[in-house]
Structure 1
Amino acid sequence: MGRGRVEMRRIENKINRQVTFSKRRNGLLKKAYELSVLCDAEVALIIFSSRGKLYEFGSSGITKTIERYERSTYNPEENNVERSWYHEVSKLRAKYESLQRTQRQLLGEDLGPLSLKELQNLEKQLEGALTQTRERKNHILMEQMEELREKERQLGDMNKQLKMKVSLEMTAFEAEQKALMIALPCPWNTNGPTGNHIFPVQISHQPNAIECQPEPILQMGYHNYNPGEGPSSTPRSLAIESSIIQGWAI
């Protein structure tokens, strides 16, 4: 009976898998050797087991065969571009890692590998950075104070202008009120030359103060006078009594 066909899939049993690997590895190495001898071919074979163990065969040496492979697949333009990009990426990666390391050291991390001299240099850098930060802060504060002073001066000028404007408007308003009060008629003065009710005005020393001199009042009817009380004590009552006309005389 012939051997049955083996299904091409991963062998789950660990022992069977290792046995199969050893048998087929030896057979593959044997076939590579036979091919190189019978056909005068340059053969290189590299095998890594699942555990990472290396098995190799080279009819002319593995390194020599690999170099020959690279020369046969070498494209100058593509290779130069790839090498250029590779070097650029390598430089950027190294710079990025250096910046990260420096940043951590400035934050007080990863200080263990640093020597005494490196720590002193780091301390000087931190002191210099702190000095520059304070100078910049003071400069910004001075600029803000100057801006506030300028705004204060502008507001002061605006306040003065508003005070002057209000003062002029108040002066004009007082003059207008004074002229209006001078021309205002007095209802009890009918002795004007034209018959208009114009009262004499006497301006006192106080602003906007006017005094209207009333005429004697004519009273109709009998005036109740009590001899025991004596004459009235007010000037107005005296003026009234002096201008009384008896009721029976009308």
Structure 2
Amino acid sequence: MVGTGKRERIAIRRIDNLAARQVTFSKRRRGLFKKAEELSILCDAEVGLVVFSATGKLFHFASSSMKQVIDRYDSHSKTLQRSEPQSSQLQSHMDDGTCARLKEELAETSLKLRQMRGEELQRLSVEQLQELEKTLESGLGSVLKTKSQKILDEISGLERKRTQLIEENSRLKEQVTRMSRMETQLGADPEFVYEEGQSSESVTNTSYPRPSTDTDDCSDTSLRLGSK
């Protein structure tokens, strides 16, 4: 079987499984340090990289020495601070404070959302779990109420359609009945319809006349025979 060669994309989010998270951290850290080393060699750049694991363990990489990189960074930061006016420094601090506050709010909101999905509940106390349970019950009650109202609305709509169909069916039945009666009247034989005021005997006599008798002819023949 020939593979497609495409690598499956990994969702960029926190890995819940502890063992998988540690393995991923180790692999990504080595890759990051390798890229930093390549950057320093290829571009003749001074690179310093510091990483703390989730357990607080320190990992670092420096193209020369970490102390030299940090000293250079501090010197550069002080130079920037001296060159900027006081108002710019104050605005920068305010922006940094706002950004930090927004980041904290975002992290807190994301954590609450994950906890509402049943994730990362180990760090919560009993009181916090009870409060979370109340919040979920309240939200579930609103969902069920909205769902019930929509179901009732759909039932009412079906009942209205049912009533309309019954009325339409009755109307069609009446039309069919009237048409059947008209066809019965139009299909009757006109020869057997008596005129008003005429008896059945007169109709029979008119329709079927009696044959004439030959009494006179017989008398004439007898007379002629006798004379001879």
TM-score (norm 1): 0.45
More helix by share: 2
TM-score, normalised relative to structure 2 = 0.48
Which is greater in Rg? 1
